Chain A
Amino acid sequence: MPIARSSALLAGFAAALALTSCAPKKDTIRIGEFASLTGKEAAFGQSSHKGTLLAIEELNAAGGILGKSLELITEDNQSKAGESATIVKKLISRDKIVALLGEVASSRSLEAAPICQAAKIPQVSPSSTNPAVTETGDYIFRVCFIDPFQGVVMAKFAKDTLKVRKVAVLTSVSSAYSVGLAKYFKERFVADGGVIAVEQKYSEGDKDFKAQLTAIKASGIDGIFLPGYYTEAALVCKQAKDLGLTVPVFGGDGWEAPQLVEIGGAAVEGSYYSTHYSPENRSPAVTTFLAKFKQRWKNEVPDAMAALGYDSAMVLADAMKRAGTTEGAKVRDALAATKGYVGITGTTTLDASRNANKAAVVITVKNGQFKFVESVAP
């Protein structure tokens, strides 16, 4: 009777599935978070998660909000497509969360967005910069600026400060972030009279860029725009130097991480990127954040993802306080009215399209340290 036995096994599994969730405690506010804690983009997801968790713990230490303590329920999507939709449904229907935080990658934020919109659960994305994310509906917010703004910032910076006229663009074709940022940069740079001499592509996970760089070198450019993440940025800078290519390399907020300097070493000296906050900023808020983060996470230095993860939780908590309730519609209205919130990543004002309207800073690497170059207001 093995078939009967395995059917019984399956029935048992189904029963276990029904028991996996537990009823919410009365005196807590449940906030959901979905993040890529394992898989390809785990480095970003974990960073962001550490920031978010720190914020929740801090809020609880200060007595919670609305007289209740906060409970962060985190689910991992393994950086896989399709997983986020399932876990967001679980968070909403089983764990009864009142608001959702996440994700870093725009494509996965986009998976969760229609579900949150339909369930009228406000979603705050910490660092998805693709414009499409918040276009899904009026319950979807983000605390970072969007790619069109960042592209314009870097195009202006390349033209005015770096004074380069002929640049190469090296894009990751498998990353929506990279493709989007490259597009907005090119539009502005060309409109301002610059020349895109050559465009080269790579895919996420590539480690060898010598082929693209050799072709770029042959085209005689005076700058390389590299929208992508820090690992690639560091490797590109290193391999460019190996090939004797000495023009400045510059990129966006994906570069922001201590590993940029660790991997890139001397090769990233004199490169530039735009990002959300300057680690040189010695405002009391940033200083205490740095200290607390290091204390909580084994001396790790927070990157931009961590800072934004922290701010996303704080902006949400701020809105809940102002709303005086955790009811979806009221929290949504309060979030939409967020104005001049001073966080780690600067002053956040959410505009009519539910995007953060905040300044970008341009950072350079000097003697192995991140140095502030200039701030660009929206």
Chain B
Amino acid sequence: MSEFLQQLLNGLSLGAIYALIALGYTMVYGVLRFINFAHSDVFMVGAYLGYYLGKLVPPGTLWGGLFVLFAAMIGCAGLGMLIERLAYRPLRGAATLNVLITAIGVSLLLEYSGQRFFGAAPRVFPPIFPERNFQLGALIISTNQLVVIGVAVLLMLGLQFIVYRTKIGTAMRAVSQNPKAAQLVGVNNDVVISFTFGLGSALAAAGGILYALNYPSIDPLMGVMPGLKAFVAAVLGGIGNIPGAALGGLILGTVETFIGGSQWSTYKDAIAFAILIIILLFRPAGLLGRFTAEKV
């Protein structure tokens, strides 16, 4: 039983990070209907920003950690908006598959530039938050796990607030439902899309830093696997659906952890995909996505 609870906790903290990255995929998909392949590399850049900023603040303090977190989020928001402006906006209105290729190009560009300028060897991420382990019965909880879950929950609540309670959030939902109609009622689509990219990238940066905190070895290709998993999580929950991405991330993290601890650990990645396929076969629009029948 204690093993089960421990694994559940491990799974939830992993899932919280997947969920943060998945939110970025889902939001961009919501407004532009394309998979932003470069998202996982923004995640990587976020971790590196945290690495460099982390050297500036005293280690292991709460305010220092929060400063690094927010500074990296702002930096990546800028990067995300820049990418959108330079690489995606000129293709607005073109087939989404073309944007997809551009996104792959941006992703490769960030990865290889990272290897050139950050160095290919892994770096050690500084412990920017205070770190301690404490015991709860047979359960061992680290402060990092709590920080991850706590920050993720706060950011998701914040996102929910922005999307449903603010003007820009209403505009985002409008663009996501019908971009042309949104424009007709006075929404500036460019601003909204730019904002969406900024928001998604900021969440990716937060995910990157939380990931690096828990697994303090960062390298320019660190985004590839978590990015793929987060993408799976987004689709699992129903892509374009914000609570769906959170749910998908948590499910994937938990399932992966339980398989990882079982005798089937060799097949961990395969089983994660198999579950996704089975769920999609029965719910073709993901768990929370609404299936829309095509109109004739």
Contacts and interface: CB of A to CB of B under 8 A. Distances in A.
Q: Is there a direct interface between A and B, measured as CB atoms under 8 Å apart in the complex?
A: yes
A162 to B, nearest CB: 25
A242 B140 contact: yes
Most chain B CB neighbours (cut-off 10 Å) among A201, A214, A259, A263:
A214
B211 A243 contact: no
A208 B142 contact: no
B265 A38 contact: no
B126 to A, nearest CB: 11
Contacts of A238: 216
Q: Is the interface of B mostly helix, strand, loop or mixed?
A: helix
A150 B142 CA distance: 35
**Among A215, A235, A259, residue most surrounded by chain B Cβ atoms (within 10 Å):** A215
A242 B133 contact: yes
B262 interface: yes
Interface in B129-182: 133, 135, 140, 142
A68 interface: no
A39 B7 contact: no
A368 to B, nearest CB: 13
B10 A207 contact: no
Contact of A214 (B10, B112, B142): B10
A196 to B, nearest CB: 13
A201 B257 CA distance: 12
B61 interface: no
A214 B120 contact: no
A40 to B, nearest CB: 6
A45 B115 CA distance: 13
A206 interface: yes
A259 B217 CA distance: 9
Contact of B115 (A42, A202, A209): A42
B105 interface: no
B10 A262 contact: no
B120 A208 contact: no
A375 interface: no
B58 interface: no
Contacts of A208: 10, 14, 214-215, 257, 260
A47 B122 CA distance: 12
Interface string A34-45: 000111101101
B257 to A, nearest CB: 4
Interface string B108-137: 000010010000111010000000010100
Given A214-B261, A243-B6, A205 B217 contact: no
Interface in B161-215: 211, 214-215
A195 interface: no
A212 interface: yes
Nearest to A203: B269
Give the size category of A's interface with B. Answer: 35 or more
Contacts of B222: 207
A207 to B, nearest CB: 4
A211 B257 CA distance: 5
Specify the main secondary structure of chain A where it touches its partner.
helix
Of the four ranges (under 10, 10 to 19, 20 to 34, 35 or more), the interface on chain B belongs to 35 or more
B210 to A, nearest CB: 12
A265 to B, nearest CB: 9
B268 interface: yes
Interface string A199-228: 011110111111110110110000000000
B261 A215 contact: yes
A45 B119 CA distance: 12
Contact of B120 (A38, A201, A203): A38
A43 B219 contact: yes
Interface in A147-179: 173
A202 B219 CA distance: 19
Interface in A314-362: none
B225 interface: yes
Contacts of B269: 203
A263 B257 contact: no
Interface in B245-291: 256-262, 265-266, 268-269
Contacts of A39: 115, 120, 221
Nearest to B121: A43
A193 interface: no
Contacts of B6: 210, 214, 243
Given A38-B115, A42-B121, A205 B225 contact: yes
A46 interface: yes
A234 interface: yes
Contacts of A215: 3, 261-262
18 contacts: A38-B112, A43-B120, A45-B120, A200-B261, A202-B268, A203-B268, A205-B221, A206-B225, A207-B214, A208-B214, A211-B265, A212-B261, A217-B3, A231-B219, A242-B140, A244-B140, A259-B217, A263-B217
The 6 closest A-B pairs by CB, nearest first: A42-B120, A211-B260, A207-B215, A211-B261, A215-B261, A43-B121
Interface of B: 3, 6-7, 10-11, 14, 112, 115, 120-122, 124, 133, 135, 140, 142, 211, 214-217, 219, 221-222, 224-225, 256-262, 265-266, 268-269
Given A202-B260, A217-B3, 4 more contacts: A43-B121, A43-B122, A244-B133, A263-B124
Interface of A: 37-40, 42-43, 45-47, 173, 200-203, 205-212, 214-215, 217-218, 231, 234-235, 238, 242-244, 259, 262-263
